[in-house]
């Protein structure tokens, strides 16, 4: 087996089984797991982000799980630096390491590096924030669809921060946000093997719906209630919390909020699928594939 540094990256939609597979692989290769799920960084958001449970965390060493607070600004650029530094350290112990997560932008930041965007007039962001407050998020979503449909189809358009970021580049440069992406980046000192998990849409949606029900049973409403006063923070602009904040603000009934969480989680999974399907390097497996077959595929690539 080659001793070249290798990062095995597991991707796929929410609730597909990435955590379980990553632990089995980490135990087989006797290595650590880097989480690149942008929602699981925050220690105040345990239930709604489906962080690995105590037994899962004990089954293999994990990094970047609940290591930040929602009160800290933590960008994808900072994560890229932190993750590369941690990998540098881990590769000295074992040339094989694992990364897992459904946040495509964060996966790409570690594997390829971030895209370089030009500076634009700060007034554009101020104007867009005002439009968000006065006209609602759908107005900005429609604007992005007209200016840059490619980005509209791939980013988390329910996240106002991401939406405004894409729009300010479109407006400030007169070019699409997508046109600044995928330029040559700094080479990495490791090779990458990408494993994707997939399921038929009906199965995937059923798994998402059941996961939301379990989160509610496990206390998601109570967790969100404690965070309600901080609902403007960027970390909380996420599925599972936003809908419950609407319930607390009396805009939604509890039943409707739960259905919205399920619907928006399904939409999120669809966007994850769109993002990852563009990557021809991903080796796809059914989510029920025998882990031995996945290990054999990986070992043949090492």
Tokens 């939301």 belong to 212
Does 17 appear as a known binding residue?
Answer: yes
Q: How far is CA 295 from CA 24, 65, 195, 299, 300, in A?
A: 9, 25, 10, 6, 9
Tokens representing 175? 């070019």
How far is residue 284's CA from residue 127's CA, in Å, rounded to a whole number? 42
Tokens representing 176? 């699409």
Q: How far is CA 185 from CA 82, 112, 255, 262, in A?
A: 17, 6, 46, 37
Tokens 């769109």 belong to 274
How far is residue 28's CA from residue 244's CA, in Å, rounded to a whole number? 40
- R_g of the chain computed on alpha carbons: 19
**What does 69-83 look like in DSSP terms, one character per residue?**
-TTS---HHHHHHHH
CB 26 within 8 A of CB 32: yes
Half-sphere exposure of 19 (CA within 13 A, CB side): 19
CB 257 within 8 A of CB 246: yes
Tokens representing 134? 């006065």
Does 48 appear as a known binding residue?
Answer: no
Does 15 appear as a known binding residue?
Answer: yes
Dihedral angle computed from the Cα positions of residues 223, 226, 227 and 231, in that order, rounded to the nearest 10 degrees: 120
Does 137 appear as a known binding residue?
Answer: no
CA 222 to chain centre: 24
Does 18 appear as a known binding residue?
Answer: yes
Q: Which is it for strands 96-100 and 191-198: parallel, antiparallel or unpaired?
A: unpaired
Instruction: For 247, list phi and psi in degrees, rounded to 5.
Output: -65, -45
Does 6 appear as a known binding residue?
Answer: no
Q: Which residue ranges are tagged as binding site for ATP?
A: 12-19
Binding positions are: 12-19
Q: Binding site for substrate, residues? A: 14-19
């Amino acid at each position: 087996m080659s001793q070249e540094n290798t990062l095995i990256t597991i991707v796929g939609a929410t609730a597909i089984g990435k955590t379980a597979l990553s632990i089995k692989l980490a135990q087989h290769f006797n290595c650590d797991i880097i989480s690149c799920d942008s929602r699981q960084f925050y220690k105040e958001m345990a239930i709604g982000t489906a962080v690995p449970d105590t037994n899962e965390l004990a089954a293999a060493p994990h990094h970047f799980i609940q290591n930040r607070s929602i009160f800290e600004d933590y960008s994808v650029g900072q994560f890229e630096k932190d993750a590369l530094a941690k990998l540098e350290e881990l590769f000295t112990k074992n040339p094989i390491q694992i990364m897992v997560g459904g946040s495509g932008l964060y996966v790409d930041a570690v594997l390829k590096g971030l895209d370089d965007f030009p500076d634009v007039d700060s007034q554009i962001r101020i104007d867009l924030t005002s439009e968000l407050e006065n006209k609602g998020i759908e107005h900005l979503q429609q604007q992005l669809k007209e200016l840059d449909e490619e980005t509209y189809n791939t980013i988390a358009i329910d996240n106002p921060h991401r939406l405004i970021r894409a729009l300010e580049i479109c407006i400030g440069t007169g070019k699409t946000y997508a046109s600044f992406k995928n330029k040559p980046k700094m080479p990495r000192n490791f090779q990458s093997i990408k494993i994707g998990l997939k399921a038929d849409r009906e199965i995937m949606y059923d798994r998402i719906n059941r996961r939301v029900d379990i989160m509610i049973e496990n206390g998601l409403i109570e967790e969100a209630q404690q965070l309600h006063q901080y609902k403007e923070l960027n970390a909380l602009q996420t599925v599972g919390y936003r809908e419950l904040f609407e319930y607390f603000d009396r805009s939604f009934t509890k039943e409707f909020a739960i259905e919205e969480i399920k619907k928006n989680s399904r939409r999120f999974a669809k966007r994850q699928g769109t993002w990852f399907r563009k990557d021809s390097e991903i080796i796809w497996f059914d989510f029920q594939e025998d882990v031995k077959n996945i290990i054999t595929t990986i070992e043949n690539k090492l």
